A and B are shown apart, each in its own frame.
Chain A
């Protein structure tokens, strides 16, 4: 069983704050690291798929970095807005197959 951990479990920030959270995963047999955004009562939506050590991806105010050697990825949100409130999931993809192993997510609440 693969261990994918996310921290913190939940986070409350004020509108305008910048924030970040962590995903840690096995550093061996790495293929890809996925980030998903999951709003309440909706389905998860893919944010980033990262495959190379040192990868940095950006979409608007959200960015992510990847360190495959030490087994972690950071997701950053700059100038948080209430509409950023969601659960952010990371998922680890092994070399050996297509299945993703998901972390339990970080639940972000942005207060206006």
Chain B
């Protein structure tokens, strides 16, 4: 059981470049999330999805886009990379919102924009 798989683990981008961070889960979880973690700032929600075809903005969505065409995959797209997007990105999933289900996190993608 792989859980939540994120790729790549590390990436360096130049300002203005674009890239997609991949996230896949094999637990048949309905809910998926993208967070970024900046030093001393905790985890901030970028986007989330409650099921295939449904996405919504979190606290810090500017500069990012997402799609959810299948239950398993939830890619995060950076269109015009900026230094402010240098961060560690975590994808997470949960079975559903009710019943207080915990999140399963991926191992993270460390992104540097130079």
Count residues of A near B (Cβ-Cβ below 8 Å).
25
Q: In the complex, A52 Cα to B103 Cα: how many Å?
A: 19
Give the interface residue-count category, chain B. Answer: 20 to 34
**For chains A and B in complex, what number of residue pairs have CB atoms within 8 angstroms?**
56
In the complex formed, the residue of B with least CB distance to A55 is B100
Interface pair A51/B104, CB less than 8 Å apart: no
Interface pair A104/B42, CB less than 8 Å apart: yes
**Which stretch in B12-20, B43-51, B62-70, B72-80 binds the other chain?**
B43-51
Interface pair B100/A31, CB less than 8 Å apart: yes
Interface pair B48/A1, CB less than 8 Å apart: no
Within 8 Å by CB of B107, from A43, A93, A99, A100, lies A43
Does A88 belong to the interface (CB within 8 Å)?
no
Interface pair A89/B42, CB less than 8 Å apart: yes
Q: Contact residues of A with B, CB < 8 Å?
A: 1, 31-32, 34, 36, 42-46, 49-51, 89, 91, 93, 97-105
